[in-house]
Every structure is written in structure tokens, then in C-alpha cells.
Amino acid sequence: MVIKILGTGCAKCKKLEEVARKAIIESGVDATVEKVTELDKIMDYNVMMTPALVIDEKVVSAGKLLSVNDIVKLIKG
């Protein structure tokens, strides 16, 4: 599983990365986290608000900071 954090480096973007890493540990899944900070690459996902969370190339959240529990639910599907 590949989880991407889309954002230009703002505080919420950094926090979402931190929360996503905790969610991976809690869920016990094998996943990697990638940061996408280039605006043109963020726009490729049709995301207008950051931070955004992408799981296996599907945008699952944009414009808000999710909790660890929220992300665990998304990971487990």
C-alpha cells in the first residue's frame, strides 16, 4: 500500500503525515508514506485544497486534517 500526503509543506500537511504514520503502525498494514509537495503533481490529483490524503492512487480526503482513527478506517477499507 502506498499512502501519499499532498501538500506544500504547511503545518497541517506535516501533521497529516505524522498522523498517517501513526495510523499505519496502529493498523499493522505494510505501507509506505510519500510526500508530494510539487504543485503541478498535486494538481494531477485534481486536489484544490491541501492537505490531501491519497491511498493507492485514490484521493480519500482533501482540505482537512484527519485523526489516526479516521485514517485507520480508510486503510482497512
The C-alpha angle with vertex 29 and arms to 26 and 32, in degrees rounded to 5, equals 105
The answer to whether the beta carbons of residues 53 and 74 sit under 8 Å apart is yes
Catalytic, 1? Answer: no
Catalytic, 45? Answer: no
Q: Of the listed 3, 6, 13, 52, which one is catalytic?
A: 13
Q: Of the listed 2, 8, 9, 10, which one is catalytic?
A: 10
Q: How far is CA 3 from CA 59, 72, in A?
A: 10, 12
Which residues form the catalytic set? 10, 13
